[in-house]
Amino acid sequence: MHTLAMQLAPVVAAENSKVPFYVAGGVLVAWALVVSLALGMRNPRFPGGPAGQRGVMAISAVLVLATLASAVITSGGSATAENKRSAGTSSEAAPTPSPSAQSGGTAQQPATTSTSAGASAPAAASALKLAANPGGLLSFDTKQLGAKAGAVTITLTNSAQIEHDVAVAQGSTVLGATPTFTGGSKTLTLNLKPGTYTFYCTVPGHRQAGMEGTLKVT
């Protein structure tokens, strides 16, 4: 029964047709006529014992199940096709005219890049590099970083087997941090105003062991 349903499903889905249901129903009707008229009325001994009865019942059951399966699959395929057509129609939207077309002139948009804090910053950003000690010592390769005000990107490289991250804070306010990781690099981008900030590793005990420094933004 499962094999029959799997064979009928691609036909129904591709053609969106009820032909399998009509075929299965026709075969069932033909079998009923053959059993009742051609065999039952002409052969008084039909079906000829328990084995014959079981055979007739088995064939009848298979045909009934095939008819039901084709009906279910056909109706499901039709509903799916209708849903797809509806979804395709509803997803169509009229193109939105560009600002330049609306104003009749040429509009230029300022280039922006998204930051980890969810703000927009100028494309020209201060790119800073920071690395954890590759030998496993709890330290960064520098304790002083400097950047211009605006978008500031810090790329932390951690080649050690110990997990590290880098966070940036101003006073007691943490402005952002990379995920804690080992092996590879992670980037943190913030939009910073002029001032003095602190960068450090948030893994318990690492900052206290010396993994911190000062970031000056001018």
Q: Parse the chain into domains and list their residue ranges.
A: 2-86, 114-217
CA 131, 136, 138 angle in degrees (round to 5)? 70
Q: Which two tokens stand for residue 126?
A: 């201060």
Q: Mean pLDDT, the chain, as a whole number?
A: 75
Q: Is the pLDDT of residue 165 over 70?
A: yes
- 143 pLDDT band, cuts 50/70/90, is very high
Identity of the highest mean pLDDT range in 38-42, 99-103, 147-151:
147-151
Q: Is the pLDDT of residue 31 over 50?
A: yes
pTM: 0.44
> Is the separation of the CB atoms in 125 and 189 below 8 Å?
yes
Tokens 């496993």 correspond to what residue?
136
- 15 pLDDT band, cuts 50/70/90, is very low
Q: Thinking of the domain 114-217, which architecture would CATH place it in?
A: Sandwich (2.60)
Q: How many angstroms separate the Cα of 50 from the Cα of each of 62, 114, 154?
A: 18, 79, 85
